Amino acid sequence: MAKFCKHCGAQLADGQICSCPQAQAEAAQLPPPQQPPQQSQQPPVNNNYYPPQQPPQGGYYQPPQPSQQPGGYQQPGGGYQMPAVPPVVKQAAGNVAPFFKTYFRAPVEAAQVLMGRKDLPLAIMLLAIQAVVSGLVLFSALSKLTSMILDAAGGGFGFGGPSISPSFLVSLLSGAVFSLVCAVAFSAILFGIAKIMKSNVSFPDALIASGANSIFVTVLLAASFVGFILSIKLGFVFLGAAVVAWIVMGVPTAQAITPTADQGKFWMLYIVGILLTFVVVYFVLPPLLETAVKAIKVTYEGETRTIGQAMRGYSFGDIIEEILDDIF
């Protein structure tokens, strides 16, 4: 059916707009044709932290990676939103508990899964937990020692007598630094053993192995923390057990990154590596221990001084040796 312009009467084809000024002005004022909305093709969002599928045998869950967001941002109300926790930290923290459960069911297999997945964030998280527990152990040990010193001095000087207390922050930092230095040293030694044995591993791989070796040691250190609260000797028993566990559990960990048939060479290198780690301990532990001891506060008659201020001119080693002789 023919169409005609309503303004000038010209004949038009289907969909044609007349070229007369009135028709062109009217067409310019019309809104563009609307297109039907397209349905989103994205899959539904899984709100569960862990994926629904079962984890592999001897392994642990890998939570989905959340989307990256920039740092802090302005809220509509004008308040400042703190930066979100980095996704890699969330993932490592979420894997700690599942890994602990898997480790106590099958420690060697769990350590191998951790190293096989090259899960460096989780390994660092495990070493950080061990460092914090080590700092708590040092604080607990110093607290017990200061309590014994007061008892040895007469059990009391009555109400208003002297009080001795270690610095929680200095003890925590000293113990944590010592633990981290030992972990890095052990990782470097594992890396050296692997390279000598012609194993194709990197230093992060050795650091992951060191993290896998920390679980049982951390548990015994936590027991040592409680032990020092109850008894100085009980605390040292668990502390010694933690050292033995570190050496024993380090064997399958080192073997996992140095697969070789030459067991004689491996054992020689591993023993040398343990001895080198103790050399590091010999040079690192005394300064950190001295820092923690010097930070102990003694309060008497309203005056507070630290051990560091009181022992100027005296040998730190001689004082510690005398205290240990009185205890044992």
Q: Considering the domain boundaries, does residue 55 fall inside one?
A: no
**The pLDDT value given to residue 151:** 74
**The pLDDT value given to residue 306:** 78
Q: Considering the domain boundaries, does residue 314 fall inside one?
A: no
**The pLDDT value given to residue 63:** 43
**The pLDDT value given to residue 100:** 76
Residue type for position 23: A
What residues are paired with 11 via a beta bridge?
4
Given a contact cutoff of 8 angstroms between Cβ atoms, the answer to whether 164 and 296 are in contact is yes
Strand order in the sheet with 297-300: 163-165, 297-300, 303-306
**The pLDDT value given to residue 139:** 95
Q: Considering the domain boundaries, does residue 327 fall inside one?
A: no
Alpha-carbon distance 44 to 320, whole Å? 64
**The pLDDT value given to residue 311:** 62
Alpha-carbon distance 285 to 129, whole Å? 19
Query: Which residues, 6 or more positions from 227, have their beta carbon under 8 angstroms from its beta carbon?
Result: 234, 235, 236, 237, 238, 239
| pLDDT, tens digit, 9 for 90 and up, residues 76-109 | 555 555 556 677 777 777 778 887 777 777 776 7
The owner of tokens 């080198």 is 276
**The pLDDT value given to residue 237:** 95
Q: Considering the domain boundaries, does residue 247 fall inside one?
A: yes
Residue type for position 114: L
**The pLDDT value given to residue 324:** 56
**The pLDDT value given to residue 316:** 54
144 membership: H or E segment, kind and range: helix 120-152
| pLDDT, tens digit, 9 for 90 and up, residues 256-270 | 788 766 788 889 999
Phi, psi of 297 (to 5 degrees): -100, 135
**The pLDDT value given to residue 46:** 35
User: Radius of gyration over alpha carbons of the chain, in Å?
Assistant: 34
Q: Considering the domain boundaries, does residue 141 fall inside one?
A: yes
CA angle 181, 183, 188 (to 5 degrees): 95
**The pLDDT value given to residue 252:** 80
Range of the domain at 283: 94-157+166-294
Q: Considering the domain boundaries, does residue 32 fall inside one?
A: no
Taking the mean position of all CA atoms in its chain, how far away is CA 50? Answer: 20
Q: Considering the domain boundaries, does residue 217 fall inside one?
A: yes
Residue-wise burial string across 97-136, b where 16 or more C-beta atoms lie within 10 A, e elsewhere = ebbbebbeeebbebbbbbbeeebbbbbbbbbbbbbebbbb
Q: Considering the domain boundaries, does residue 306 fall inside one?
A: no
**The pLDDT value given to residue 52:** 34
- Count of domains forming the chain: 1
**The pLDDT value given to residue 160:** 52
Q: Which two tokens stand for residue 293?
A: 């001891």
**The pLDDT value given to residue 223:** 96
Beta-carbon count within 10 A of 257 CB: 22
Given a contact cutoff of 8 angstroms between Cβ atoms, the answer to whether 296 and 167 are in contact is yes
Spans of the chain, pLDDT less than 70 = 1-2, 7, 9, 11, 25, 28-85, 108, 152-161, 260-261, 300-302, 309-328
**The pLDDT value given to residue 50:** 33
